[in-house]
C-alpha cells in the first residue's frame, strides 16, 4: 500500500496520529484510541521504504548514525506531518503526528478567555505545558496567529520540526527548523536575538542553555513563548529552577520571578457529546504575590494561589475539568481519573 493511501485513510477517519510498525497493520489514533486501518500487516522492507521516500540524503545519514530521526513531511491535498522514524525490534517504525494546515482561531479551541489576553503582553516569558499530544503547539500557533493579525512586528519561531506553516499578515514571520536551519535551539535563539525580533517562539526549553537564553530574551524586552513537558504550574517552576546548578538557583528564582508572565498547562480529553477532543486548562498568572512565591522558593503554595485567584483570571486544573463535566463535554470517569485530587473531584461531581 502506498504511504499516501494510508495517510488519506487516516485523514478520512479523523486520526491525530499514524503508527507504521513492521509485522503490524497500519494503526491510527482517533480521539486517543488506537485502531487498525487495514487487516494487512506491514513488512520491515515496506516501512523502511516509507522512510526513505520522505527524507534527504543528509537526513538518511543522520538516521543511520542515530537510529532516530525527527522531520516534517507534506502531502499535497492532505497536509503536513510531524514524523519520527526509529529503529526497533523487527525493523524501522514511524510515528506520524498529523498537523492541520489551517491555524485555528483561539476562540475555537475552548480555552479560557484569559489566554486571549496573554497575546497582548508586550514582553516576558509565557509557557504552555502538558504531556505530548496535549495541544501545546496548536495553542501557541493560535496565539501567534492572533498577534499576526493585530501587530506590525517581527516574529521568529524556532521549531522541531516546523508544524503549522504561519503566513505573514500584519507581522513578518520567519520560521526556522532544528537540523535544517539551525543546529540547536540554543544556537537559533542566540542568533535570533541579533535579528531584531519582537516575539520569539521556542519549540521547547529542553536544556539549560536554551532555558537561560529564553529567560535572558524575556528579560531584555522580548515576548518569548515556549513549552515544557510538565503537568502543572508548580511543577513547571520547579523544573526550570532544577535545570540550574544549586549555586545559581537563588539568582534564577529572582530572574524567573521577574520574567515569567504566565503558565498554561493543558490536558486533552475525549468528548462524549460529539467526536473530538477538548482541553482542560490550568492558568497561572504572575501577579506580585506569585512573583514573591517564586523568588522565595515557595512553589508548593502555587495551587492554593491559583484556587483563590479566580477573579484575576487564574484557573485550576480541577475546576476546568469539573466545568467540562458539568457542561456535558467529558465523562465522569475521565474527569476523576485526570484530576489532581481525584477524591475531591469525586465528591464535587456527586454534589
Q: What are the tens digits of pLDDT across the range 142-154?
A: 999 999 999 999 9
Per-residue pLDDT at 333: 96
Per-residue pLDDT at 124: 98
Per-residue pLDDT at 91: 97
Of 69, 99, 129, which residue sits at a domain end?
99
Please tell me whether residues 114 and 54 are part of one structural domain: no
- Pairing mode, if any, of strands 33-36 and 223-228? unpaired
Please tell me whether residues 130 and 236 are part of one structural domain: yes
Please tell me whether residues 192 and 282 are part of one structural domain: yes
Of 47, 76, 99, which residue sits at a domain end?
99
Per-residue pLDDT at 79: 86
More confident call, 156 vs 178: 156
Please tell me whether residues 83 and 147 are part of one structural domain: no
Helix, strand, coil share (%) of the chain residues, nearest 5: 40, 25, 35
Report the Cα 141 to chain-centroid distance in Å.
10
* Maximal CA-CA distance, the chain: 61
Please tell me whether residues 113 and 230 are part of one structural domain: yes
Return d(Cα 93, Cα 278) in angstroms, integer: 29
Q: Dump pLDDT digits (tens) for 184-242.
A: 999 999 999 999 999 999 999 999 999 999 999 999 999 999 999 999 999 999 999 99
Q: Dump pLDDT digits (tens) for 25-84.
A: 999 999 888 999 999 999 999 999 999 999 999 999 999 999 999 998 989 888 889 999
Of 74, 99, 124, which residue sits at a domain end?
99
| Whole-number average pLDDT of the chain | 95
Please tell me whether residues 215 and 71 are part of one structural domain: no
Question: Which DSSP string corresponds to 82-97?
Answer: EEEEEEETTEEEEEEE
Q: What percent of the chain has pLDDT over 90?
A: 90
State how many domains the chain has. Answer: 2
Q: Is 108 exposed, middle or buried (0-12, 13-18, 19+ CB in 10 A)?
A: exposed
Please tell me whether residues 64 and 128 are part of one structural domain: no
CB–CB of 1/43 below 8 Å? no
CA distance between the termini of the chain: 53
All three cell numbers of 223, joined, read: 515576548
CB–CB of 313/298 below 8 Å? no
Please tell me whether residues 320 and 197 are part of one structural domain: yes
Q: What percent of the chain has pLDDT over 70?
A: 100
Torsion, Cα of 132, 271, 107, 319 (10° steps): -80
Return d(Cα 144, Cα 25) in angstroms, integer: 38
Return d(Cα 251, Cα 243) in angstroms, integer: 13
Please tell me whether residues 49 and 186 are part of one structural domain: no
Please tell me whether residues 195 and 173 are part of one structural domain: yes
Tell me 182's DSSP state: B
Per-residue pLDDT at 101: 72
CB–CB of 154/171 below 8 Å? yes
Per-residue pLDDT at 275: 86
Return d(Cα 125, Cα 128) in angstroms, integer: 10
Please tell me whether residues 194 and 114 are part of one structural domain: yes
Tell which residue, 142, 140, 136, 148, has the closest CA to residue 104: 142
Please tell me whether residues 175 and 72 are part of one structural domain: no
Give the domain extent around 288: 106-350
Answer yes or no: is pLDDT of 272 > 90: yes
Answer yes or no: is pLDDT of 256 > 90: yes
Q: Identify the CATH number of the domain in which residue 84 sits.
A: 3.30.450.90
Where helices occur in 77-159 by DSSP H, the ranges are 114-118, 136-150
Amino acid at each position: 500500500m502506498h504511504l499516501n493511501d494510508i495517510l488519506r485513510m487516516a485523514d478520512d477517519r479523523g486520526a491525530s496520529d499514524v503508527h507504521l510498525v513492521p509485522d503490524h497493520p497500519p494503526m491510527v489514533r482517533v480521539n486517543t484510541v488506537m485502531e487498525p486501518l487495514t487487516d494487512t500487516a506491514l513488512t520491515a522492507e515496506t516501512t523502511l521504504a516509507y522512510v526513505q521516500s520522505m527524507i534527504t540524503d543528509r537526513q538518511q545519514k543522520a538516521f543511520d548514525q542515530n537510529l532516530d530521526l525527527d522531520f516534517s513531511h507534506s502531502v499535497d491535498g492532505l497536509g503536513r506531518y510531524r514524523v519520527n522514524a526509529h529503529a526497533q525490534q523487527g525493523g524501522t517504525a514511524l510515528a506520524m503526528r498529523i498537523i492541520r494546515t489551517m491555524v485555528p482561531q483561539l476562540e475555537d479551541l475552548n480555552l479560557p478567555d484569559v489566554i486571549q489576553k496573554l497575546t497582548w503582553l508586550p514582553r516576558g516569558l509565557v509557557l504552555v505545558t502538558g504531556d505530548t499530544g496535549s495541544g501545546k503547539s496548536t495553542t501557541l500557533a493560535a496565539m501567534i496567529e492572533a498577534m499576526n493579525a493585530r501587530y506590525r512586528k517581527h516574529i521568529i519561531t524556532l521549531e522541531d520540526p516546523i508544524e503549522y506553516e504561519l503566513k505573514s499578515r500584519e507581522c513578518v514571520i520567519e520560521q526556522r527548523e532544528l537540523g535544517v536551519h539551525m543546529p540547536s535551539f540554543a544556537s537559533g535563539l542566540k542568533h535570533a536575538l541579533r535579528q531584531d525580533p519582537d516575539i520569539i517562539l521556542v519549540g521547547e526549553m529542553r536544556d539549560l542553555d536554551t532555558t537561560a537564553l529564553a529567560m535572558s530574551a524575556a528579560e531584555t524586552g522580548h515576548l518569548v513563548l515556549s513549552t515544557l513537558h510538565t503537568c502543572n504550574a508548580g511543577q513547571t517552576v520547579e523544573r526550570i529552577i532544577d535545570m540550574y546548578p544549586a549555586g545559581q538557583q537563588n539568582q534564577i528564582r529572582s530572574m524567573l520571578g521577574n520574567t515569567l508572565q504566565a503558565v498554561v498547562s493543558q490536558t486533552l480529553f475525549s468528548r462524549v457529546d460529539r467526536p473530538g477532543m477538548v482541553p482542560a486548562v490550568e492558568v497561572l498568572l504572575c501577579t506580585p504575590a506569585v512573583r514573591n512565591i517564586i523568588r522565595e522558593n515557595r512553589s508548593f503554595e502555587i495551587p492554593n494561589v491559583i484556587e483563590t485567584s479566580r477573579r484575576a483570571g487564574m484557573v485550576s486544573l480541577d475546576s476546568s475539568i469539573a466545568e467540562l463535566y458539568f457542561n456535558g463535554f467529558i465523562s465522569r470517569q475521565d474527569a476523576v481519573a485526570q484530576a489532581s485530587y481525584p477524591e475531591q473531584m469525586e465528591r464535587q461531581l456527586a454534589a
